[in-house]
Amino acid sequence: MNYQVALDAFHGPMDLLLYLVRKQEMPIRSIPIARITAQFLDYLDVLVRIDIDYAGEFVVLAATLMEIKSRMLLPGEPAGKEAEAADPRRELVKQLLEYRRYRDAARTLEDYATQQSQRFAREATPENESDAPTKIRRVEVWDLVSAFARLMRETHPGDSREIVVDETPQYILEARLLERLGGTTSLSFRDLFEPPYSRTRMIGVFLAVLELMKSGRIHLDQPEACGEILLSLNRDAIAGDAVSAAA
């Protein structure tokens, strides 16, 4: 199979851990280790299916979380400064706070660059509040991984006794997705996957989505929290690619 994982799309295990903490709406300094560890392992299962070599970094952090979980089950120390210093989460929290600071700074710079590139002439302010554009939740790569994990559980592509091998190159899958999106306004993430469901085929389509997302040729929107993820074609980027190819 000519499937290649765009490794930088996953941003690493600390990015996943920060995503899970934010999703639980919990302060970083009081991470619910048991709950976070269980969810981290669910995501790890999906990453192992996609690329077992790249999942190595996530396995290390999963082992760290399980070690912290086991240490927290041991009899506690008396209340006080010594007990606070002995908190097994302390070093992990320190790393996570450091990571969040750098990530927030990088995202702020990225937002500034995006705003600067989208400056237009001033237009009239909408008369009614209803005329203002609807705010749509930004889709993160981990939202896609979560949706893909649910789809894999529901379709059970690995339960079939018949071995199905799909050797379709990834660039062909990308072209097919762009063709489908070109004929509609938007398409739900779930509708991208059609029966018969085979593991290799589903992973290939998922990696094609990640690559198109990374290159900016598609938009991903989620109108409601934990709702359906919608994909649409970035026609400006496609037109720019066509001009570059012609040149």
| Range with top average pLDDT, 68-72, 153-157, 163-167 | 68-72
Q: Quote the strand ranges of the chain, DSSP E.
A: 137-138, 187-188, 218-222, 230-233
pLDDT tens column, 37-65? 888 888 888 887 777 666 777 888 888 88
Q: What percent of the chain has pLDDT over 70?
A: 71
Q: What percent of the chain has pLDDT over 90?
A: 0
- Cβ of 245: how many Cβ atoms within 10 Å? 7
Q: What is the mean pLDDT of the chain?
A: 75
Residue 132 confidence (pLDDT) above 80:
no
HSE, side-chain direction, 13 A CA sphere, residue 128: 2
Contact 2, 170 (CB under 8 A): yes
* Average pLDDT of the residues in 20-25: 79
Residue 180 confidence (pLDDT) above 80:
yes
pLDDT tens column, 191-213? 888 877 788 888 888 888 888 88
Contact 186, 230 (CB under 8 A): yes
The structural architecture, per CATH, of the domain 134-247 is: Orthogonal Bundle (1.10)
Cross-strand pairs, 233: 218
Question: Between 143 and 3, where is the model more confident?
Answer: 143
Ordered by start, the domain boundaries in the chain are 1-74+82-113, 134-247
pLDDT at 81: 52
3 pLDDT band, cuts 50/70/90, is very low
Predicted TM-score (pTM) of this structure: 0.58
At residue 200's C-alpha, the angle toward residues 179 and 180, to 5°, is 10
79 pLDDT band, cuts 50/70/90, is low
Check the CA dihedral 225-226-230-231 and report its sign: positive
pLDDT tens column, 32-43? 888 888 888 888
* Average pLDDT of the residues in 124-141: 56
Residue 229 confidence (pLDDT) above 60:
yes
At residue 43's C-alpha, the angle toward residues 205 and 104, to 5°, is 95
Residue 171 confidence (pLDDT) above 80:
yes
Residue partners of 156: CB distance under 8 A and separation at least 6:
197
Q: How is residue 11 written in tokens?
A: 């941003």
